[in-house]
Structure 1
Amino acid sequence: MGRLSADIYPTELRTSLRHQRSFIRYVGGFAGNVCTGLARLQVGTAIVSKVGNDGHGEFIRDFLSREAIDVGWLGIDHTLNTPVVFCEIWPPDRFPLLFYRTPTCPDWELTANDFDVDAVAEAPILLVSGTGLAREKSRGAHKVALERHRHTAIFDLDYRPMFWPSPTAFASAVKDLLPRADMVLGNEDEVRAATGLDDARQGIAALRAAGPRVLILKRGGEGAVLFDGDRVLEVPPVRREVVNGLGAGDAFLAAVAHGVLRGIDLGTAVRRANWAGAFVASQVPCSEAMPYLQDLDAAVPSKS
């Protein structure tokens, strides 16, 4: 549920947007990437979002449909254009983004009237992100979906400072929905922003105290840490040459959600997620780089 965009990526690495002359378009955004990742892991997936009545929106709908994603709740806004995102790619760790989605865009205009709340309530897993809370209408839709949902809700903090008037506004929105989440994912900066605490360890404790049973701290090239009840497990990274790290977190989340849905041990699911994130980070695209189930199973068996 949430953010969608047409991602406009450069055909040349290590080149500024000012000097880049050729680009290739992909489907992107939290919802687009995670849905694609799940579909390729053979999970029946539906997207809840909106696009504009334009060629970018049609491109997104066509791609998601080809990936066997249910687009019945992918609405069309007849006033606003589909968001576009440009990026620069400077491996291994600099990927500046230029978003065209303010002051608002179709997925931020999403309301509970745009989807079947009762059907979403019965989904085994509901995945949402912090970006979906950045505007009032979308925040309300997310709140309704989470309040009505009866199964596992996974919340990716997905903090993008340019979408918020202040870190405090982000923290307030997160605080309101945390009690309805069963699992939270984020990196140290996102944990700090979500709690207003400079000490990441205190922030982790604060997030866990707010309700979620499971918290996964994403540490990029240093792996991840799983907090599951009294269990704390440090999961080492998977070493691969990084080309574009922008889609790694969404691939990670898709693999975790797949593990939860299939009853895979969470520690193993996080190890598989680390591999999926590294796999996507070794390529330029995000959605189109998502691994298939046979690739993931071959790399990290589900019973390892």
Structure 2
Amino acid sequence: MKTLFCIGELLIDWISTDIDSSLVDSVNFIKKAGGAPGNAAISCNRLGGKSAFAGKVGNDAFGLFLKETLDQENVDTTNLILANEYTTFAYVSIKKGGERDFIFMRGADALLRKEEINLPSENAVFHFGSATGFLGGDLSETYFKALDYALEKKFFISFDPNFREALWPNPEKFIEFSKDFISKSDLIKLSEEEALLISGKKDLQEAIATFKLKKNAIVCVTLGKNGTLLYFQEKLEIVPSISVEAIDTTGAGDAFIGAVLKQVCDKTPESYNEIKNYVSFANKVAAISTTKLGAIEALPTLEQILKY
């Protein structure tokens, strides 16, 4: 089994408990551990995988809470660095159907330098799923250097752009950077919104056709309750999901990619049917994750998946 190596932000999600309320109107909030790369690492581990996380948090109560959260999930935190800057926050409100409203207050995650971390030298799958990885600062430089390193080592590379409109009112740079990562990745996970935004197309099939892809690259466009549009080895189809009553979709995409990558760490897929089975399983993991409040707390274990 390979180790899933995730790099990017780890943060505090302040989630409004005022259901179907915007952030303008929300009053009550609860503290949750969050950040897409950390969520993906935990998703992998809860399904029986092995993961490591590289990032930076504040040397404060919130950063220590986040480190403890990963430690409790058996995520390797050797490359989780404590900074003097404050821990990054995200404020989240939940609307009907589980849709979210975001505001970010960026802190320590931006300060991660490559010299501070030790990248794995073998038996690794690299996942780039940071919502803040393209925003500048030391993390962006580290992000691109880590990509070059993974390419040099010929590691399996996964990319999830995690677009947040609040972070990118002018998304031109986001689109440029995403296209670069897409062209160099073995697995690309996109939402429907991201696929259309990055490609500039209005149709998903056209969007995928415009991407410059590596040979045998896997593209997964998640469609919520409708499943996932899978492209692999020139085949394209929607892999259905299961029906659930969604409460909170926060982290569902991270649950999905963590589930796919756990299976990739076990065995790199070689056929269309193999990756289709990976995606079908990941759809189920993601769907079940939406039935509880919070990102990490809602990530299901393998035992829960088998019982569902």
TM-score by length of 2: 0.88
Which letter maps to 1:24? I
Match of 1:224 among 225, 228, 238: 228
Aligned to 1:47, the other structure's residue is in SS state: strand
CA offset digits 1:172-227 (Å, max 9, x no partner): 11223333211101022101222333443222112254667110111112110111
- How many Å separate the matches in 2 of 1:165 and 1:19? 22
2:80 aligned with 1:54? no
What is the percentage of aligned positions where both structures have the same residue? Answer: 26
Aligned to 1:116, the other structure's residue is in SS state: coil
Q: Is the 8 A contact 1:38 1:255 kept in 2?
A: yes
5+ long unaligned stretches in structure 2: 1-6
Change (3 A) 1:47 1:156: same
CA offset digits 1:132-156 (Å, max 9, x no partner): 1221422221121121113211000
Query: Match of 2:99?
Result: 94
- How many Å separate the matches in 1 of 2:130 and 2:201? 17
Aligned to 1:239, the other structure's residue is in SS state: coil
The Cα shift of 1:237 comes to: 2.0
Two-structure CA RMSD over aligned residues (Å): 2.0
User: Which structure ranks higher in relative contact order (CA pairs < 8 Å, sequence separation ≥ 6)?
Assistant: 2
Which structure features the higher share of helix residues?
A: 1
2:183 aligned with 1:174? no
Query: Match of 1:251?
Result: 255
Aligned to 1:97, the other structure's residue is in SS state: strand
Change (3 A) 1:206 1:136: farther
Aligned to 2:244, the other structure's residue is in SS state: coil
Query: Match of 2:297?
Result: 288
- How many Å separate the matches in 2 of 1:123 and 1:81? 33
2:283 aligned with 1:274? yes
Aligned to 2:99, the other structure's residue is in SS state: coil
Query: Match of 1:302?
Result: none
- How many Å separate the matches in 2 of 1:72 and 1:31? 15
Which letter maps to 1:75? I
Query: Match of 1:71?
Result: 77
TM-score by length of 1: 0.89
Match of 2:190 among 186, 189, 204: 186
Q: Is the 8 A contact 2:43 2:255 kept in 1?
A: yes
Q: Is the 8 A contact 1:168 1:193 kept in 2?
A: no
Which letter maps to 1:279? I
Number of residues of Structure 1 aligned to a counterpart in Structure 2: 293
Structure 2 counterparts to residues 129-148 of structure 1, below 5 A: 129=129, 131=131, 132-148=133-149
2:40 aligned with 1:34? yes
Change (3 A) 1:179 1:242: same
